[in-house]
Structure 1
Amino acid sequence: MVSTTTPASAPGEDPAPRPKRRTFPADYMLGIVAEYDAAPAGEKGAILRRERLYHSHIIEWRQAREAGALVALADRRTSAVRPKQAAEQAELERLRKKVTRLEKENAKKDAALAVLGKAQRSWLGTALRERGLKHAVDPVVDEAFTGLESELGTTAACRLTGGEAQHDSGLAEVPAAGLELATSRDRESCSPQRVRARSHRAWSPGA
């Protein structure tokens, strides 16, 4: 049995500091193993010298990586942060979808109001009570019906251009031209005879 002795330090001298055991984070070990395995044969030793490692380190860390131990350690370091980040991303996505939905709804409302505003100004004009009534109102109702149908659907367009209801503001009902335009396109949701009769009464000359 061979034993070694350490020479006694001289009086007053500090004993040599004991070397500390190095510790390596899991992500560091994963990175070194990946770099070592990807390096050409002639450069592997340079990596070990640069990091002051031994080949035994690489063997041990590679085995731990294949067993999943290093991945588990690396995930554990960030596990407390990931749920918070996931929750923040989910909330941002929810708010983003809500903003998009509201923007689409506002765009539909603005388009409908713009179309109705044009039609309403024309319906209130005195020119509609003169001899050229149908010729004057056809382009207006055509524009109103087409715009409303593209934004709100056929049923709503028929209703708003005189299909089955009066305007809430108390104005006279829409002229029959709007309904004739709808029925010419097979708008089954409109009621031609009933609205035509109401429109003739409301828009007859001298009314």
Structure 2
Amino acid sequence: MNCASARAALSARMDDEDVLDAAATLDHLRECAACGEWIGHANRISETARKRYVSTPDLTEPVLRRIGDHERGRAARLRAWRRGLRWAVGVAAIAQLGLALPALWPGADVGGHALHASREMASFDIAVAVGFLLAAIRPDRARAFVPVAFALAGCLAVTSLVDIAGGATDVLHEASHATALVQAGLLWALGRTSAGRASQRERVAVTT
């Protein structure tokens, strides 16, 4: 066995690998002073490296735990935000119902065509409020009402501006229509959070 083969075998032995011709390698090491010096130097370097350098700890478990904690916290905040939106949409719908229902009573303080128009408008407000209540109860359906809510808010804004400019009404009276825009924004936010939750359920269903 020559020096190159012996040193390759000795290097493999230092790495706890199986060595072929182990007996021949040891015989060569006893007879070859150069290889004996080489293995001594290699052992000193290996020992120094073990003492000086500490192996990097496995951080997989704490990192995954931290990610899990973050995701659970994010999910909890999202649930709280979604619950608040549902309550806000529901309360707005109940308030709208409370304002619209009195106009349907026979004793409303308007007459003739004004009474008829007032009742028609109240009926429309009640229908919208019922839609908002349904969205609060079943938030997964909220996105279906968003175009209606924004169309209503947009029409009210345009007609209010036209009537204010024409002197048919004043800003204070029309300011109440701003609630329609607020309702539309709440409904949009609720629909968005519910859509994200539905998408997550779909992804889980596909993976399982």
Q: Using structure 2 for the length normalisation, give the TM-score.
A: 0.34
Q: Would you tell me which structure has more helix in proportion to its own residues?
A: 2
Whose radius of gyration is greater, 1 or 2? 1
